[in-house]
Amino acid sequence: MRIILLGGPGAGKTADQLVSSPAEKMAADLNAQIITHTQVTTLDVVGRNVRWAGDKTNGGETGYSKLILALGADPIPHGLSGAGAEQVYAVNDLQDYRVFRTALKSGHRVAILGGGLIGSELANDLAEAGYPVEVVHLGPWPLERLIPEQVAQSLAHALRDKGVRWHFGRTAKSIAQKNGAVEITLDDGSIVEADLVLSAIGLRSRTQLAASAGLTVNRGIVVDGALQTSVKGVYALGDCAEVNGQVLPFVLPLMQQARALAATLAGEKTEVRYPVMPVVIKTPALPLAVLPPATNNGGWQGLQG
């Protein structure tokens, strides 16, 4: 789930304001049962049964004829050592966003671990709202998996003009508490001081439940072109799904997957087909829409008119 600060915490929406439709209204509109604050604990694909428990329910179970896994992804662990490691935030859902917004105060210095898609977007929003931002990024430039160096350097320069300080080719190793703030030690021994640390180093598909049920998993839950897993009648889509060897954690692929799966469940088996799907990078300092290559093999070539 991509949560962006929507113009910066000073002018952005609260977590409650980001809810487009309450669960009760959505359930009524869709004629569906929606069980909130609940986690599936056991998936039995042989007996076709799901068991769950939650903080607002004593738990329960249900059988199914078809099952869709839309489990999303988890932030990759930051791996920092030190007394401040528990103070590193990640924004992956509304609750994470609520916690981070509550902790963020006026004038706070924010360190972001990771200068990819989410890290760059967050850096832009925070800097635009007046927060000093430092980004620690292992790559040689921002979004190196999506855009060529020339474009990335333009983005880095535009964000630098907003007050973002970059630490390229560096990783954070440890974090210590100091006078109510933190000090982050990088792999070259340099120190980054901050009041809050936000980890944006990437996402990892949630595959644990599927693996425990005996489904085939790799980087994601392995599915075929029709989004069916290794067990008949069980499907997966979104950030948790590995479709024909690809995990595509973006909105447009998810929409195409949902349309194809809806047709399949309605009785017309349909394999997902991807049209041209640009990735919109929400960095107002340098707005970008890019069409990344399917693989990272090869290199970029500039064309001169």
Number of independent structural domains in the chain: 1
pLDDT in tens, 153-209: 999 999 999 999 999 999 999 999 988 899 999 999 999 999 999 999 999 999 999
Query: pLDDT digits over 217-266, tens only?
Result: 999 999 999 999 999 999 999 999 999 899 998 889 999 999 999 999 99
Q: Which domain holds residue 195?
A: 74-203
pTM of the model: 0.86
Flag whether 172 is in a domain: yes
146 domain-assigned: yes
Let me know if residue 182 belongs to a domain: yes
Q: Are 72 and 1 in contact (CB under 8 A)?
A: yes
User: Considering the chain, what is the average pLDDT of its residues?
Assistant: 89
In a domain, 185, yes or no: yes
At residue 284, does pLDDT exceed 50? yes
Is residue 109, in this structure, part of any structural domain at all? yes
Question: Is 125 within the bounds of a domain?
Answer: yes
Residue 169 Cα distances to 14, 105, 117, 126, angstroms: 34, 29, 17, 22
pLDDT tens, residue by residue, 69-87: 999 999 998 889 998 887 8
Asked, for residue 225, whether it belongs to a domain, the answer is no
Higher pLDDT, 4 or 279: 279
Decide if 111 is inside a domain.
yes
Burial pattern 220-230, b for ≥16 Cβ within 10 A else e, equals bbbbeeebbbe
User: pLDDT tens across 118-153, in order?
Assistant: 999 999 999 999 999 999 999 999 999 889 999 999
172: CATH: 3.50.50.60
